Amino acid sequence: MSTVLDGLYYSESHEWLKVEGEFGYIGITDYAQHQLGSVVYVDLPEVDDELNQGEEFGAVESVKAASDLLSPISGTVVEINEALEDKPELLNEDAFNNWICKVTISDPEELKNLMDAEAYKAICE
């Protein structure tokens, strides 16, 4: 059974979003990393990239699978988690503590389109 943390926002494509003031941290869920298996590469966005909710901004690869990252929220990338470049396995070790990128949220209204932990748990079952 995969872990789901309370207090985060979730997308149907298995990304999580943690909101801290005007910023948001984006990662993939524990369920997603389980499905992928050993992560061998994370295709990270670049700082200043404009993300749109629901649109692709990178990818996570395992040996025999690749999964596009769809942004849970629109915004501008202000920081990326460079540790993932050398240690993509961090996503397997702890998907919730290893965010992929940090964005400035451009439209908080979009949070309404995301799920809370309860709703997300339901779709993982």
Partner 1 sequence: MYKYFPHTESDIAEMLERIGVASLDDLYAEIPESIRFDKDYNLKKSMSEDEVRNYFKELGNLNHPLTVFAGGGAYDHYSPSVIGQLIARSEYLTAYTPYQPEISQGTLQYIFEFQSMMCELTGMECCNASMYDGATATAEAMLMAIAHAKKRNKVIISRTVSERVIAVVETYARFHGVTLDYIPENDGVTDKAAMEQMLEANDVAGVIVSTPNRYGIIEDFTGFAESTHAHKTLFIVNADPSAMAVLKTPGEWGADIACGDGQSLGMPLNFGGPYVGYLAASRDLVRKLPGRIVGATKDVDGKRAFVLTLQAREQHIRRQKANSNICSNQSLMALYVTIYMALMGKRGLQEVNEKSYAGAHYLCDKLLATGKFSLCFDKPFLKEFAVRTTLNRETLMKHLEEKGFLAGIPVEGTDDTILFCVTEKRTREEIDNLVSLIEQEG
Partner 2 sequence: MKYYNKLIFEISKPGRVGYSLPQSDFGNYSLADLPQTLRRETPAELPEVSELDVVRHYTNVSNKNFGVETGFYPLGSCTMKYNPKINEEMAAMPAFTTLHPRQSEESVQGALRLYYELAQALAEISGLAEFTLNPFAGAHGELTGLMLMRQYHIKRGDLKRTKVIVPDSAHGTNPASAAVCGLEIVEVPSTPEGTIDVAKLEPLLDDTIAGIMMTNPNTLGIFEKEIPQIAKLVHGCGGLLYYDGANLNPLLGRCRPGDMGFDIMHINLHKTFSTPHGGGGPGSGPVGVAAALVDYLPRPRVVKHGDRYAVEGGADSLGSVSGFFGNFGVMMRAYAYILSLGKEQIKHVGELATLNANYVKESLKDCYYLPIEGICKHEFVFDGLLDKSTGVTTLDVAKRLLDYGYHAPTIYFPLLFHQSIMIEPTETESKETLDEFIEAMRTVAREAIDDPEMVKSAPHVTPVRRLDETTAAKNPILRFKDLNY
Q: Give residues in contact with partner 2 (CB under 8 A).
A: 38, 40-41, 61, 63, 88-89
Residue 51, Cβ density class (10 Å: 0-12 exposed, 13-18 middle, ≥19 buried): buried
Q: How far is the CB of 63 from partner 2 (least distance, A)?
A: 5
The interface with partner 1 within residues 24-53 (CB under 8 A) comprises 40-41, 43
Q: How far is the CB of 97 from partner 1 (least distance, A)?
A: 24
Using the rule CB under 8 A, is 65 a contact of partner 1? yes
Using the rule CB under 8 A, is 76 a contact of partner 1? no
Among candidate residues 77, 79, 90, 74, the one with its CA nearest the CA of residue 28: 90
Q: Which residues contact 58 (CB under 8 A, 6 or more apart)?
A: 42, 43, 44, 45, 68, 69, 100, 101
Binding positions for partner 1, rule: CB under 8 A: 40-41, 43, 61-66, 68
